[in-house]
Structure 1
Amino acid sequence: MNIEVPAGQQPLGRLIAALSRQLTARMAMVLEQHALTEAGWWLLTELAVAPDGGLPLNEVARRARLGASTATLLSDQFAERGLLVRERSPQNRRLVLAQLTEAGRRRVTEVRGQLNELFGGTYARLTADEQQTLSRLLTRMLDPDDAG
């Protein structure tokens, strides 16, 4: 199959991969300062937007696009560091709920601020409408339920 690409443009997959590598490398510098991995960061950010009672650990893993064992390992490490707490759900004792501690919320706020500062120039290259459009399109590409 031969895919035609207009002159001066690169294939979409190549552009997405290049941008991903660039953003990931820059993000890693900030995360390293806080002893966080990329997977750990995604877990914490999902908990930061969770309801007040927290979320089941398996749901956090799904939302962060992590394996269940990775989420469990990270939650163990973050609990030891005082960034989150885990407890059994009062409604279903088989479920483990995870919730950020105040220290965890401060950490997410601090890291998010540094990342926003780091990527602000990149995002500023797009208008507000372009940012919304790109966000909507990328979300659609990532959402397996929206394929089609």
Structure 2
Amino acid sequence: MTDTDLVDALAQLSFLVQNALAEIGAQHDLSLVQVRLLGVLRDHEPTMQELGRHLGLDKSSISGLVDRAQRRGLVTRTASPVDRRVTHVSITETGQRLATEGAAVFAEHISSLVAGLSAADRRTLTRLAHQVISNGSRVSEEHD
């Protein structure tokens, strides 16, 4: 296998995953970035700045994204008790329900994609994916 084969395989895998997320989002009138927002907020209550960094969005884009999600009752904003200039974003019960439903559908979709792999191959794929993600996090930090 060449590096080109690896790049192509990872790109195609990324497209499969992104398309699955986009389809799930479309069923609930959510954009792909809104789906990602809810996914992040399921387990975290980041500041607006942290959220922007995580989603790769600038300040105005993240503000608009959170505004739209807040109007739909999916998220709330709260001022930091320590620094009133800092705003935290959290998921509402409605947003959590939507995120949980979407995650279940997504898990089913991914399960069907890896159904032909042995248990050992799935464990290997999981381990390698975590390594790539970890490497990606380090590379991102170096570029910040």
TM norm structure 2: 0.83
Asked whether the 8 Å contact 1:88–1:96 carries over to 2, the reply is yes
The answer to which structure has the higher helix fraction is: 2
Match of 1:39 in 2: 33
Does residue 102 of the first structure (1) align with residue 93 of the second (2)? Answer: yes
Does residue 28 of the first structure (1) align with residue 28 of the second (2)? Answer: no
Match of 1:116 in 2: 107
Q: 5+ residue gaps in structure 2?
A: none
Match of 1:17 among 7, 11, 21: 11
Question: What SS class does the counterpart of residue 98 from structure 1 fall into?
Answer: strand
Question: What SS class does the counterpart of residue 86 from structure 1 fall into?
Answer: strand
TM norm structure 1: 0.81
Shift of 1:68: 2.6
CA RMSD of aligned residues (A): 2.2
Name the amino acid aligned to 2:103. R
- Count how many residue pairs are aligned between Structure 1 and Structure 2: 138
Q: 5+ residue gaps in structure 1?
A: none
Q: Which moved more, 1:95-104 or 1:22-31?
A: 22-31
Question: What SS class does the counterpart of residue 94 from structure 1 fall into?
Answer: coil
Question: What SS class does the counterpart of residue 25 from structure 1 fall into?
Answer: helix
Q: Over residues 93-137 of structure 1, what are the superposed CA-to-partner deviations in whole Å (9 max), with x where a residue is unaligned? A: 111111111111101001111111112122342534213312222
Superposition pairs of residues 46-125 of structure 1, within 5 angstroms: 46-50=40-44, 54-124=45-115, 125=117
Change (3 A) 1:84 1:18: same
Identity %: 25
Indicate the structure (1 or 2) with the bigger Cα radius of gyration: 1
* Larger relative contact order (Cα-Cα within 8 Å, sequence gap ≥ 6): 2
Match of 2:125 among 118, 122, 131: 131
